[in-house]
Structure 1
Amino acid sequence: MGIFDRVAPPGSRRRDAARTLRNTVRSTRPAAAGAPPSRPQTVEQEKQTLKSSWASLDPDALDDYLVSGFQNPQINAQSILTRHRLIRELFPDDDFGELMRDEIEHSARATTALHERSSDLGITMGTFVSKTRRAEVRKVNEAIADWQDDYEKKWASTLAGRTVERKLSVLEFACGSANDYRYFDAYGIAQFLDYTGIDLNDNNIVNARRRYPGVDFQVQNVLDLPFGDRSYDYVVVFDLFEHMSIEAMEQALGEACRIARKGLLLTFFLMADNPDHEVRPKRTYFFNTLSRAKVQELVESRFGPVEAVRIGDLVDEYGERASYNPRAWSMFATRRQD
Structure 2
Amino acid sequence: MSGDHDRVRRSYDTVAAEYRQRLADELAGKPLDRALLAALVELAGPGAPVADLGCGPGHVTHWLAGRGVPAVGIDLSPGMVAQARRAYPGVEFREGDLLRLPAADAEFGAAVALYSVIHLAPDELRPALAEARRVLRPGAPLLVAVHLGSEVRHLDEWWGHRVDVDFHFLTAETLLGALQDAGFTIEARLERASYPHEVETRRLYVLARPCP
Could you tell me whether the CA contact under 8 Å between 1:171 and 1:195 is conserved in 2? yes
**Could you tell which deviates more after superposition, 228-237 or 324-333?**
324-333
Deviation of the 1:220 alpha carbon: 1.3
Alpha carbons of structure 1 residues 54 and 325: separation in structure 2 relative to 1, 3 Å: closer
Say yes or no: does 1:295 pair with 2:175.
yes
Paired letter, 1:271: L
Alpha carbons of structure 1 residues 326 and 220: separation in structure 2 relative to 1, 3 Å: closer
Say yes or no: does 1:334 pair with 2:212.
no
- The separation in 2 between residues aligned to 1:87 and 1:57, in whole angstroms, is 30
Report Cα offsets for 1:182-219 as digits up to 9, x if no partner. Answer: 3234xx41x2x222111122222222222332321111
Which structure would you say has the larger RCO, counting Cα contacts within 8 Å and 6 or more residues apart? Answer: 1
- The separation in 2 between residues aligned to 1:86 and 1:309, in whole angstroms, is 14
Report Cα offsets for 1:11-55 as digits up to 9, x if no partner. Answer: xxxxxxxxxxxxxxxxxxxxxxxxxxxxxxxx7222222112222
Within-5 A mapping of 1:153-168: 164=46, 167-168=47-48
Aligned residues: 202
Question: Aligned residue for 1:309?
Answer: 190
Structure in which a larger fraction of residues adopt strand: 2
Question: Aligned residue for 1:220?
Answer: 96
- The separation in 1 between residues aligned to 2:196 and 2:93, in whole angstroms, is 36
Deviation of the 1:323 alpha carbon: 9.4
Deviation of the 1:170 alpha carbon: 0.9
Report Cα offsets for 1:108-129 as digits up to 9, x if no partner. Answer: xxxxxxxxxxxxxxxxxxxxxx
- The separation in 2 between residues aligned to 1:295 and 1:80, in whole angstroms, is 22
Say yes or no: does 1:207 pair with 2:83.
yes
Alpha carbons of structure 1 residues 183 and 336: separation in structure 2 relative to 1, 3 Å: same
- The separation in 2 between residues aligned to 1:54 and 1:321, in whole angstroms, is 24
The unaligned stretches of length 5 or more in structure 1 are: 1-42, 92-163
Alpha carbons of structure 1 residues 65 and 200: separation in structure 2 relative to 1, 3 Å: farther
DSSP-derived class of the 2:105 partner? coil
- The separation in 2 between residues aligned to 1:263 and 1:169, in whole angstroms, is 12
Deviation of the 1:324 alpha carbon: 7.6
Could you tell me whether the CA contact under 8 Å between 2:126 and 2:181 is conserved in 1? no
- The separation in 2 between residues aligned to 1:201 and 1:243, in whole angstroms, is 12
Structure in which a larger fraction of residues adopt helix: 1
- Relative to the length of structure 1, the TM-score reads 0.53
Question: Aligned residue for 1:179?
Answer: 59
Within-5 A mapping of 1:6-45: 44-45=2-3
Alpha carbons of structure 1 residues 75 and 58: separation in structure 2 relative to 1, 3 Å: closer
Percent identical residues: 20
Say yes or no: does 1:67 pair with 2:21.
no
- The separation in 2 between residues aligned to 1:178 and 1:199, in whole angstroms, is 9
The unaligned stretches of length 5 or more in structure 2 are: 157-163
- The separation in 2 between residues aligned to 1:62 and 1:322, in whole angstroms, is 14
Deviation of the 1:292 alpha carbon: 0.6
Say yes or no: does 1:80 pair with 2:34.
yes
Could you tell me whether the CA contact under 8 Å between 1:74 and 1:183 is conserved in 2? no
Runs of 4+ in 1 over 3 A off after TM superposition: 277-284, 320-326
- The separation in 2 between residues aligned to 1:176 and 1:323, in whole angstroms, is 17
Question: Aligned residue for 1:197?
Answer: 73
- The separation in 1 between residues aligned to 2:3 and 2:89, in whole angstroms, is 32
Alpha carbons of structure 1 residues 311 and 248: separation in structure 2 relative to 1, 3 Å: same
Report Cα offsets for 1:241-291 as digits up to 9, x if no partner. Answer: 2222212333322221222221111111x214xxxx444555632222211
DSSP-derived class of the 2:102 partner? coil
Could you tell me whether the CA contact under 8 Å between 2:105 and 2:134 is conserved in 1? yes
Question: Aligned residue for 1:11?
Answer: none
Could you tell me whether the CA contact under 8 Å between 2:114 and 2:145 is conserved in 1? yes
Report Cα offsets for 1:111-157 as digits up to 9, x if no partner. Answer: xxxxxxxxxxxxxxxxxxxxxxxxxxxxxxxxxxxxxxxxxxxxxxx
Question: Aligned residue for 2:159?
Answer: none
Deviation of the 1:57 alpha carbon: 2.9
Residue in structure 1 matching 2:7, options 37, 41, 49? 49
DSSP-derived class of the 1:309 partner? strand
